[in-house]
Structure 1
Amino acid sequence: MIIAVDSGTAGTVEAEHLCHELLGLLTGAEIACTHWIPAGRPDPLSDEDQAGLGAHVAVSITLPSATTAMVRRLRHRADEEDLGLVISEPSIELGPSHLVRGARLASAEGAGRTAGRLFRFPGQSAAVGRLTARELRERAGIDLVEGIGGTPVHDDSVIDTRDFVRPVWRSGRSVLLVQPAAGGVLVPFELEHQQKCCSNH
């Protein structure tokens, strides 16, 4: 099942913090993603002002199932903080309509694995230190290691993960984008600029 939340978060640092807090309300979560939500537009069928929300980041969490208590905690938090909440099973949509639309998009991308940046994923704890592309695929469950700008990546290419990897979903596969670095190694394209309060979760 998929749980998606849109709080209108401005960037990935805040979105990862939200992910971490939501994971504290859930058990058995396997995957957590952040999703880029385009700027909203006025909804001619609604009396609410939808134009004020710019591009922002929502989150989705995948887990086998949710207990009644977990759903109750999520609903309570959404009510308290005026969040957009979408739960796939049971089907629940709650919150301001413009945030619910963002949560719907995050839910669809997470369910289809068509887009989204992975904050938690199976095998993540193995994606540390220096690993070859083959080892990242075999140990960390990353489907593809891809070099940006045509940078070649072979099975024995060494990736210095710097203990921070954020693969992305693309066409149902998890893809880690890498770039050249000093010393003849590759490093993740997204470097760790997150605040330590979130990067260590």
Structure 2
Amino acid sequence: MTRFRHALTLDPGVRDLAAADHLLHTLAAELALTEDVFGCTHLVRGDRPRVAVSLSLPSRPLPHTVRERLAARGFEVTEGAPDELGRAVLYPGATTLTGTVTLAELLSRSAITRVTVLGTPTQPAPHTRLLTRDHVRPHWHHDELVLTTMPAPADTLIPFEVPNPTPCCADH
């Protein structure tokens, strides 16, 4: 679990990813976190399913002031991450992934190291365009930040995760 060696975890009791994403963005702004911070969501299963969030730097611990400021806001802060499979919301280069970008641009601008396409065993070409929908959420996989995509019209790709998913049973 190299990536999360210096992680702090908060378990704010939120039940959905959108609320956890919002919390991470709010914390990044209020704590003035630097662009090299990784903010991830982690699904916590069991008798009380919820979403925990982690904050980490790749090579050193977060400053003690971050932990103190989180505790002052009423968060219980623990060392480490709940798992190795975080879904990255905050990561280096995330803010540059808007509109349409090529995969080569995505890989050079951000901490994402690999792109996969659902149902395809081969890597997509670097010139392939990605319609980001301004919502790019890669996952950690074997200490590598991987974006899963799916085919879209006109030989483009879109991130597998949609920005505003329809809740289950929304039509009931």
* Contact preservation (8 Å) 1:151, 1:179: no
Q: Distance in 2 between matches of 1:26 and 1:130?
A: 28
Aligned to 1:115: 85
Match of 1:27, as an amino acid? L
String of CA shifts for 1:50-93, please: whole Å, max 9, x gaps: xxx2x21100011443234x333222323xxxx5421x3xxxxx
Deviates more, 1:18-27 or 1:6-15: 18-27
Q: Cα gap change, 1:21/1:128 in structure 2, threshold over 3 Å: closer, same or farther?
A: closer
Q: Distance in 2 between matches of 1:25 and 1:163?
A: 23
Aligned to 1:101: none
Q: Distance in 2 between matches of 1:140 and 1:72?
A: 29
Match of 1:3, as an amino acid? L
- Unaligned regions of 5+ residues in structure 2, if any? 1-5, 166-172
* Contact preservation (8 Å) 2:112, 2:138: yes
Quote the offset at 1:151 in angstroms. Answer: 6.9
Match of 1:164, as an amino acid? H
Quote the offset at 1:164 in angstroms. Answer: 1.6
* Residue 17 (structure 1) aligned with residue 22 (structure 2): yes
Quote the offset at 1:144 in angstroms. Answer: 0.5
String of CA shifts for 1:94-147, please: whole Å, max 9, x gaps: xxxxxxxxxx6xx153xxxx3111111001122222222222111223100100
Quote the offset at 1:38 in angstroms. Answer: 0.9
Q: Distance in 2 between matches of 1:72 and 1:140?
A: 29
What is the count of residue pairs matched by the alignment?
154
* Contact preservation (8 Å) 1:161, 1:187: yes
Aligned to 1:30: 37
Query: What is the alpha-carbon root mean square deviation over aligned residues?
Result: 2.1
SS at 2:108's partner residue? helix
Q: Cα gap change, 1:178/1:62 in structure 2, threshold over 3 Å: closer, same or farther?
A: same
Quote the offset at 1:27 in angstroms. Answer: 3.5
Match of 1:156, as an amino acid? H
Given candidates 118, 129, 145, the residue that maps to 1:174 is 145
Q: Cα gap change, 1:129/1:26 in structure 2, threshold over 3 Å: closer, same or farther?
A: closer
Q: Cα gap change, 1:162/1:17 in structure 2, threshold over 3 Å: closer, same or farther?
A: closer
TM-score normalised to structure 1 length: 0.68
SS at 1:115's partner residue? coil
SS at 1:150's partner residue? coil
Q: Distance in 2 between matches of 1:179 and 1:30?
A: 27
- Richer in helix (by share): 1
* Residue 140 (structure 1) aligned with residue 140 (structure 2): no
SS at 2:25's partner residue? helix
TM-score normalised to structure 2 length: 0.78
Counting aligned pairs with the same residue, the percent is 31
